[in-house]
């Protein structure tokens, strides 16, 4: 199917990683830093531009992505609510962007296939929102068309635009994924468990 829309990806990578004790986005997954893996998957799924929102150790994160096709936005209040990073990412996008995929760099089980599925579906319909659903849980990756951006920019808080998703749930297209894909990596124990088992294919 020919893509007629321009969908960007906004990857939230600003967090302090307090429970990990070090910057988790620089830990290796499949032999590369976690953040690099997320950017590569967004790129392989066809999203452009890709904006990585930095906060904690921005120079180190930027260096790990030096040769990948992405740009950067900075959230100086990276210990604050998630909305600060989302706003920074959206504000870095140009007027020629039709929609934005929101993804979390530490959701390591989100595959290229999942991201591409959202993009293809959004190109095939006019739904303002495409939502990933894991059982009863609605979570990233989420694809917001531009018509919802003003609401996202007005929203403050945690949960990746949760209030906007709830307000438009009735007109959103849902994409169901295995519950295991919902897991993020926050603690040393979770990272050890991740490295001791096969990781997800693209």
- What are the tens digits of pLDDT across the range 178-195? 999 999 999 999 999 999
pLDDT tens-digit profile of 5-24? 899 999 999 988 888 989 99
pLDDT in the model for residue 180: 94
Average pLDDT on 100-117 reads: 97
Taking a C-beta distance cutoff of 8 angstroms, is the pair 40, 31 a contact?
no
**110-125 burial by CB neighbour count: b if 16+ within 10 A, else e?**
bbbebbbbbbeebbee
Question: In this model, does residue 54 exceed pLDDT 50?
Answer: yes
Question: In this model, does residue 3 exceed pLDDT 70?
Answer: no
- Short-list 125, 137, 123, CA closest to 165: 137
- For the entire predicted model, the pTM comes to 0.94
Band (pLDDT 50/70/90 cuts) for residue 1 is very low
């Amino acid at each position: 199917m020919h893509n007629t829309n321009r969908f960007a990806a906004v990857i939230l990578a600003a967090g302090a990683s307090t429970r990990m004790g070090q910057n988790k986005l620089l830990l290796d997954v499949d032999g590369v830093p976690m953040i690099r893996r997320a950017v590569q998957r967004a790129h392989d799924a066809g999203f452009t531009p890709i904006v990585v929102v930095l906060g904690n150790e921005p120079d180190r994160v930027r260096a790990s992505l030096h040769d990948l096709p992405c740009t950067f936005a900075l959230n100086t209040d990276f210990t604050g609510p998630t909305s600060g990073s989302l706003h920074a990412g959206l504000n870095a996008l140009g007027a020629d962007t039709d929609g934005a995929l929101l993804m979390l760099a530490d959701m390591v089980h989100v595959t290229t296939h999942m991201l591409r599925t959202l993009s293809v579906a959004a190109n095939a319909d006019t739904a303002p929102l495409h939502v990933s659903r894991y059982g009863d849980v609605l979570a990233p990756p989420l694809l917001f068309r531009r018509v919802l951006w003003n609401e996202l920019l007005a929203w403050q808080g945690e949960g990746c635009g949760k209030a906007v998703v709830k307000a438009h749930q009735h007109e959103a297209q849902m994409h169901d994924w295995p519950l295991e894909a919902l897991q993020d990596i926050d603690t040393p124990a979770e990272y050890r468990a991740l490295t001791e088992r096969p990781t997800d294919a693209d």
